[in-house]
Amino acid sequence: MNKKKKILALLGSTKQDSANLKILENFMQLTASIFEVEIYPLSELPYFNPDLDNDNSVPISVTTFRQHIEVSDGIIICTPEYVFSLPGILKNALEWTVSTMLLHEKPTALITASNSGDKAHESLELVMKTIGAEVGDKSSILIKNVRTVLNQQGEITNPNTLADLNGLIEAFKATLTNSQQG
């Protein structure tokens, strides 16, 4: 029997009633038989400071975060757009990974779910490309008008969004398989 893949989820929203959290929960439900998904508490990370980014000074919460990335098979990022960019909490977490090679060639899926979201999605793709993450074709989707694709229970009811999410899951699975073989 194949072991479930360990997927670390980075959520760009801290809101209790977060649409991105609901999208992530849909992802988790659709992949429950193949993925074990953990949503990392990004709010535990301090502000990135290059002066602390060395063997002697790196904060323990950052070391813990890095260990979680290291043992994961893949990463999923799900984020809103804030003022035409990535939310600070997500950008901050990504900054703590830059000096490590931990995200280099790490299978990664990207979801930006927002009112509009074009700029944040573009930025997220550029950041992850720069860091060297392995984002497969179709493993990156933008969900516009996110509130309108969900029902009261937080389920995705829009068929196009559901098709995009299923496409992302298939592409992400392929990237995970290829990375294991490579």
Ligand X SMILES: Cc1cc2nc3c(=O)[nH]c(=O)nc-3n(C[C@H](O)[C@H](O)[C@H](O)COP(=O)(O)O)c2cc1C
Binding residues vs ligand X (CB under 6 A): 13, 15, 18-20, 80-84, 114-117, 146
Q: Which is nearer to ligand X, 135 or 146 (CB)?
A: 146
**Shortest Cβ distance from residue 154 to ligand X (Å)?**
11
In angstroms, the Cα distances linking 51 to 54, 57, 59 are: 7, 8, 11
**Shortest Cβ distance from residue 5 to ligand X (Å)?**
24
Which of 20, 14, 6, 76 has its CA nearest to residue 45? 14
Q: Which is nearer to ligand X, 48 or 82 (CB)?
A: 82
Q: Strands, E, within the chain: which ranges?
A: 5-11, 35-39, 74-79, 108-113, 140-143
- And the tokens for 164? 């995009």
Q: Which is nearer to ligand X, 101 or 126 (CB)?
A: 126
* DSSP state letter for 50: G
**Shortest Cβ distance from residue 164 to ligand X (Å)?**
17
Q: Which is nearer to ligand X, 15 or 129 (CB)?
A: 15
Is 144 strand, coil or helix? coil
97-122 CB burial, b ≥16 within 10 A, e <16 = beeeebbeebbbbbbbbbeebeebbe
**Shortest Cβ distance from residue 90 to ligand X (Å)?**
11
**Shortest Cβ distance from residue 112 to ligand X (Å)?**
9
Q: Which is nearer to ligand X, 111 or 176 (CB)?
A: 111
- And the tokens for 95? 């900054």
